[in-house]
Amino acid sequence: MKLADLHPEGTRETIGSVIFTADDIIRFAEKFDPQPFHLDADAASASLFGGLCASGWHTCAGWMKCFVPYWLDEMKRMAAEGITAPKLGPSPGFRDMRWLRPVFAGDTITYFVTFIAAKELESRPGWRINTILCEGENQDGAPVIRFESRVIEFP
């Protein structure tokens, strides 16, 4: 079965949620994005954000943290129904990454994936490059992250 058969174009799925705590924001920033507004609540309150907020890369990593278990559960569900799941991965990249608004300590971000399109690879019969829209919204329904990703599908 192809991914396009499972999720017709435009099908949006909720893949999970992540609560961004102050401790998690600081821990991520210490390792990967040590800017003052990610590391220190006082410095952050004096910044243009006005409060401690997550790195955009942390917000993006939250999407992946939700997608992997979502897809593993989907594979189990399909197997239980006698359906052969498409083989996916890795991603050859993404485009148009947008951090639309800050993710503050205490925010809960719910993530989504929408199947956009599939393109057959002429050089590898049976292989496809799928395009998916990856999004996240805060607890108020306001969008915080959006990007398109490519995912290889192979026989």
- The boundaries of the domain holding residue 125 are 3-154
pLDDT score for 8: 86
Mean pLDDT of 132-153: 98
CATH classification of the domain holding 53:
3.10.129.10
Burial track 56-86 (b if 16+ CB lie within 10 A, e otherwise): bebbbebbeebbeebbeebbeeeeeeeeebb
Tokens 């559960």 sit on residue: 73
Total of domains in the chain: 1
CA atoms of 49 and 32, how far apart (whole Å): 19
Q: What pLDDT, in 10s, does the model give residues 23-59? A: 999 999 999 999 999 999 999 999 999 999 999 999 9
| pTM reported for the whole predicted model | 0.94
